[in-house]
Amino acid sequence: MSNSSLPSSGAYLPGATVKYVIETLLTRIVTQEYASEERLPSERQLAQDLGVARNTVREALDQLEARGMIRRRAGSGSFVTYDPDGEASATSPVAADVGPLQLQVMRGIIEPEMMRLAVINMTPRQIEALSVVLSKMEAVQADATAFVRLEEEFHRLIAEGTGNPLLLACYNLVLDARRQAFRTAMYRRHLTPARIAIYQRGYNGLFNAIAARDIEEASEFMKLSLIEDQRILLQED
């Protein structure tokens, strides 16, 4: 069946299809569009809805299952196991022992250089992925949990953009610790809508700087983001 015609909306998208599915589902989970313990649509249904093959959906679900976000039962369905309020989600053991100040110290070491490397090395496709996350962030500003989760993804994409797997691995530890820290902070209601708006402005500026390949500007915005986190995590106000 040598069929090279791409039927309408792409029947063979280049590279990032699985990632797209993961992102989509992850967003729906953290925004509780698919609530905890709820059943998600069947694989066949998701495939059709998202316009991809079931294989691709499966691959995405495999990874979500590995991350402990869902659980699957043959013949029954896939269910959300991620609990945004619950403290049980899979953080690496080390994350629990990290104090907010230690976290900020480490971020201060790694983030400035990471930002520089990312601005230099990010591909157009990666920048595009960044903008997708950014717009999702704008859509969920009312939900602090979802916002922080997307924020984390934003940072992770930057780390990926450096093209340095070692840096990415290290930064994943940093993000684990940050998630842990923010859980406490949010519990104390320090992440208000007003603050989220401030964050959003910062990330918009950061993205523009990246897209313009402006190293100094990007580095500056990164520092601001770091300082803003510091306000919340170290409760200096």
Interacting residue ranges for its own copies, rule: CB under 8 A = 92, 94-95, 97-98, 102-103, 105-106, 109-110, 113-114, 117, 163-170, 173-174, 177
Q: Which does residue 56 bind out of DNA, its own copies, none, counting CB within 5 to 8 angstroms by kind? A: DNA
Decide: helix, strand or coil at residue 189: coil
30, 40, 130, 191: residue in contact with DNA (rule CB under 7 A)? 40
Query: In angstroms, rounded to a whole number, what is the distance separating the alpha carbons of residues 89 and 10?
Result: 36
For the chain, how far is it from start to end, CA to CA, in angstroms? 66
The beta-strand segments (E) located in the chain are: 70-73, 77-80
- Are the beta carbons of 228 and 95 closer than 8 angstroms? no
Q: Binding to DNA by residue 236, rule CB under 7 A?
A: no
Cβ distance to its own copies smaller for residue 109 or 212:
109
Closest CB to its own copies among residues 69, 159: 159
Phi and psi, residue 176, nearest 5°: -60, -50
Residues 6+ apart with CB under 8 A from 196: 141, 144, 147
184 binds DNA per the rule CB under 7 A: no
Neighbours of 107 (CB within 10 A): 22
| Partner whose footprint covers residue 193, from DNA, its own copies, none (CB < 5 to 8 Å by kind) | none
- The whole-angstrom separation of Cα 132 and Cα 126 is 10
Q: How far is the CB of 99 from DNA (least distance, A)?
A: 10
Choose from DNA, its own copies, none: what does 164 bind? Cβ within 5-8 Å by kind. its own copies
Whether 130 and 158 have beta carbons less than 8 Å apart is answered as yes
**54 contacts DNA (rule: CB under 7 A):** yes
Q: Which of 25, 26, 30, 61 binds DNA (CB under 7 A)?
A: 61
Tokens of 132: 């997708």
Q: Which is nearer to its own copies, 97 or 236 (CB)?
A: 97
**Site residues, DNA (CB under 7 A):** 1-2, 4-6, 11-19, 40, 42-45, 51-56, 58-59, 61, 72-78
